[in-house]
């Protein structure tokens, strides 16, 4: 009989990225669990015993920590109800090095071991940690390759003129993943273009449409609100109305019917361009100012992008439009003009979008409510997971900023209209004569990856990777293959034992300015303890407040 003190309570965790096949009598999750349970039985002599609780995540990507079963497992570990975590393969637990480092810290703090039954690794040894880090690097690489395939698929589909989702243009509806003209709304769009050619400005056009009783229709739903100038700019500049599909800087013939004649659309573009020049504003490309036509103040005045140069450096801003700088004394404070540093507010808005799309439950509920099928939900999850800052800012429909909060409306890239909103409270602070917006608990990525640090980390990983191959090379042989100095290989080898979160932060460029590749490579006797590594490297990976100068 096994001594009670040596009993090790084992929790089995299983995961499958898609929900395909989960309705079968014997699915992938059950197969994983069966293998793990068999392994636990084989270790019965060591005191291993199975915990009956099932920790199964079906249809959830390994690139996120927001998984119900995983969160339950971590909670049970924190409450000391688990001694060993057993998985079928390492990538079932996570495909992210950064997330893995967080889990290992929880495991170490609670004295929990981690075992992958098909790979026989244990996190209690330094070699086990190294091998797991290498495997997770390949899992992360596979995930990034999958993202590239998805982006290539989207690009290829747009080249064929297919509608791939996004904000649904007024005048169209989606049927069987195709844009279909809605006659009543299409007539409103034609009125907008025709009236614009007769008006002197978009502002005058908005007034004319309001007199005609034409209101906004967000996502095809009736509204009593007047059509905003931002929405009019979006309509007037949208090439979808002439039957084409835009993709980055290219345009392809679409599979949908045009609403606007090309001659009328071209005349509208020429007038819009002349209007920009007459205002005396520097011409800026939309891709340089992704919030152009989307950001408004508390009085619904659009903030337009400008830039200035000083000592060869270019500074971008979003400012209150000249036409809107009136002298309304009834609300003197709210009508004061705004001037926001562009890069800072773009990063802040992106963080709000990230917070909104990280709420998996809310996204799932909204997706189901909008009528998305399982395939559409999977595509949405993939696009959210793989999107960069530029992609996320393209999803934004409207940003409203006032002295108390910022509210962002987002159109997610789906075939059916799917809109979510997120508001963040802010506080005003005064520094001298300057007013600043301060939002707590924010991370603003400023640095970029140091190419020399990246090169050193890659060299160490490649060296240890080949050490596990069938024909491992010595450091001297490896240096000749890589065409690098033998001493560089020797200095880089210890970097393979760095804590995963340190590696992730170095690759993200979050180290302090004085933490260079040369400084890291000259560290003698780099400790295996991750805590000691962090103390020696003294990396400053903190969070800080964002202050936006008004």
Domain map (residue ranges) of the chain: 4-155, 160-278, 284-425, 451-549
Q: Which residues of 256-276 are buried (b: 16+ CB within 10 A; e: fewer)?
A: bebbbeeebbeebeebeeeee
Q: Which pLDDT band holds residue 328 (cuts at 50, 70, 90)?
A: very low
Whole-angstrom distance, CA of residue 384 vs CA of residue 412: 9
Position 279 scores a pLDDT of 55
pLDDT above 60 (res 124)? no
Sequential DSSP letters for 421-442: EEEEE-EEEEETTEEEEEEEEE
Task: Give the closest residue to 494 by CA, choosing from 459, 470, 535, 518.
Answer: 459
Q: Indicate the SS3 state at residue 170.
A: coil
Provide the CA 434 distance to its chain's centre, in angstroms: 32
Per-residue pLDDT at 73 exceeds 90:
yes
Contact 227, 216 (CB under 8 A): yes
What are the residues facing 303 on neighbouring strands?
A: 320
- What is the CATH T-level fold of the domain 160-278, as seen in this structure? Hect, E3 ligase catalytic domain fold (3.90.1750)
Nearest to 238 by CA among 160, 321, 167: 167
Give residue-wise pLDDT tens across range 415-428.
Answer: 667 888 888 887 65
d(Cα 417, Cα 173) in Å, to the nearest integer?
Answer: 9
- Assess if CATH 1.10.10 describes domain 451-549: yes
Q: Output the DSSP codes for 322-383.
A: GGG----GGGTTTTSPPEEEHHHHHHHHHHHHHHHHT-HHHHHHHHHHTT--HHHHHHHHHH
Kind and range of the H or E run holding 175? strand 172-175
What is residue 83's predicted lDDT score, i.e. its pLDDT?
Answer: 92
Give Rg (Cα) of the chain: 28
- How far are the Cα atoms of 283, 319, 432 from residue 307, in angstroms, in the given order? 10, 10, 24
Strands (E), 42-81: 48-50, 55-58
pLDDT in tens, 349-380: 888 888 888 777 677 777 777 777 767 777 77
Using alpha carbons, select from 68, 66, 122, 127 the residue that is nearest to residue 90: 122
Give 549's strand partners. Answer: 436
- DSSP one-letter code for 285: -
Write the CB contacts of 15 (distance below 8 Å, at least 6 apart in sequence): 29, 32, 56, 57, 58, 60, 62, 67, 69, 70, 92, 93
**Sole residue written with tokens 């997706």:** 367
- CA 139 from centroid of its chain's CA atoms: 19
The secondary element (H helix, E strand) that includes residue 500 is: helix 500-507
Give the separation between CA 534 and CA 539, rounded to whole angstroms. 7
Q: Residues 108-137: what's their mean pLDDT?
A: 74
Mean pLDDT of 143-172: 82
Compute CA 441 distance to the chain's CA centroid, rounded to the nearest angstrom: 18
- Return the CATH number of 4-155, one of 3.50.50.60, 3.40.50.1390, 3.40.50.1970, 1.10.3720.10: 3.40.50.1390
- Distance, in Å, from the CA atom of 66 to the CA atom of 57, rounded to the nearest integer, reads 10
End-to-end CA distance of the chain: 73
Q: Is residue 330 over pLDDT 50?
A: no
Read off the DSSP letter of residue 497: G
Task: Mention every residue, 6+ apart, whose C-beta is less than 8 A from residue 513.
Answer: none
Three-state secondary-structure class, residue 316: strand
Contact status, residue 97 vs residue 136, Cβ threshold 8 Å: yes
Contacts of 224 (CB under 8 A, 6+ apart): 215
Q: What is the pLDDT of residue 22?
A: 75
* Contact by Cβ (8 Å): 117, 484: no
Q: Is the pLDDT of residue 284 over 50?
A: no
Question: pLDDT per residue over 229-279, tens digit each?
Answer: 888 888 998 999 998 988 888 888 888 999 999 999 999 988 888 777 655
pLDDT over 50 (residue 541): no
On the question of pLDDT at 298 being above 70, the answer is yes
Instruction: Write the CB contacts of 245 (distance below 8 Å, at least 6 apart in sequence).
Output: 158, 161, 162, 163, 164, 251, 252, 253, 254
Query: Measured in whole angstroms, how far is the alpha carbon of residue 230 from the centre of its chain?
Result: 25
Residue 56 CA to residue 69 CA, distance in Å, equals: 6
CA angle 34, 38, 40 (to 5 degrees): 120
What integer pLDDT is reported at residue 448 of this predicted model? 53
The SS3 call for residue 549 is strand
For residue 348, which phi and psi values (nearest 5 degrees)? -65, -45
Percent of the chain's residues with pLDDT above 70: 79
Q: Which band of pLDDT confidence, cut at 50, 70 and 90, is reported for residue 443?
A: very low
The per-residue DSSP string of 48-84 comes to EEE----EEEES--TT-S--HHHHHHHHHHHTT--SE
228: tokens are 């905003």
């Amino acid at each position: 009989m096994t001594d009670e003190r040596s009993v090790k309570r084992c929790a089995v965790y299983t995961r499958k990225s898609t929900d395909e096949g989960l309705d079968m009598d014997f699915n992938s999750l059950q197969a994983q669990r069966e293998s793990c349970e068999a392994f636990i039985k084989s270790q019965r002599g060591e005191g291993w015993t199975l915990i009956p609780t099932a920790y199964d995540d079906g249809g959830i990507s390994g690139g996120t920590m927001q998984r119900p079963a995983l969160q339950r497992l971590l909670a049970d570990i924190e409450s000391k109800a688990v001694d060993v975590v057993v998985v079928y393969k390492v990538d079932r637990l996570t495909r992210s090095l950064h997330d893995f480092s967080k889990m290992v810290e929880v495991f170490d703090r609670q004295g929990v071991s981690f075992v992958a039954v098909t790979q026989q690794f244990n996190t209690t040894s330094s070699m086990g940690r190294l091998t797991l880090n290498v495997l997770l690097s390949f899992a992360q690489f596979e995930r990034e390759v999958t993202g590239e395939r998805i982006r290539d698929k989207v690009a290829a589909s747009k080249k064929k003129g297919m509608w791939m989702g996004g904000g649904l243009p007024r005048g169209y509806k989606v049927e069987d993943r195709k844009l279909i003209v809605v006659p009543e709304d299409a007539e409103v769009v034609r009125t907008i273009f025709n009236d614009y050619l007769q008006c002197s400005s978009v502002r005058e056009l908005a007034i004319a449409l309001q007199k005609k009783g034409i209101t906004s229709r967000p996502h095809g739903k009736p509204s009593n609100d007047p059509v905003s100038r931002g929405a009019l700019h979006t309509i007037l500049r949208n090439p979808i109305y002439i039957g084409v599909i835009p993709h980055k800087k290219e345009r392809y013939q679409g599979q949908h019917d045009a609403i606007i004649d090309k001659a009328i659309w071209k005349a509208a573009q020429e007038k819009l361009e002349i209007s920009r020049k007459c205002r005396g504003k520097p011409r800026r490309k939309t891709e340089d100012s992704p919030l152009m036509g989307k950001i408004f103040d508390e009085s619904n005045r659009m903030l337009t992008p400008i830039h200035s140069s000083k000592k060869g450096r270019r500074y971008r801003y979003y400012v209150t439009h000249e036409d809107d700088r009136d002298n309304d004394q009834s609300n003197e404070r709210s009508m004061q003009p705004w001037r926001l540093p562009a890069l800072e507010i773009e990063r802040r808005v992106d963080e709000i979008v990230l917070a909104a799309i990280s709420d998996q439950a809310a996204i799932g509920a909204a997706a189901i409510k909008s009528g998305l099928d399982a395939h559409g939900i999977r595509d949405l999850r993939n696009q959210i997971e793989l999107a960069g800052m530029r992609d996320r800012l393209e999803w934004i429909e409207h940003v409203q900023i006032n002295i108390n909060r910022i509210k962002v409306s987002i159109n997610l890239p789906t075939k059916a209209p799917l809109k979510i909103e997120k508001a963040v409270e802010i506080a005003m602070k005064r520094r001298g004569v300057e007013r600043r917006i301060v939002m707590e608990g924010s991370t603003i990525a400023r640095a970029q990856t140091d190419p020399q640090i990246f090169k050193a980390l890659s060299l160490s990983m490649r060296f240890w990777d080949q050490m596990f191959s069938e024909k491992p090379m010595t450091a001297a042989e490896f240096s000749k293959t890589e065409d690098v100095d033998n001493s560089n290989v020797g200095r880089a080898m210890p970097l393979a034992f760095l804590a995963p979160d340190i590696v992730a932060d170095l690759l993200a460029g979050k180290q302090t300015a004085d933490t260079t590749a040369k400084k890291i490579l000259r560290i003698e006797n780099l400790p295996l303890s991750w805590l000691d590594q962090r103390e020696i490297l003294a990396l400053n990976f903190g969070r800080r407040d964002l202050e936006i100068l008004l």
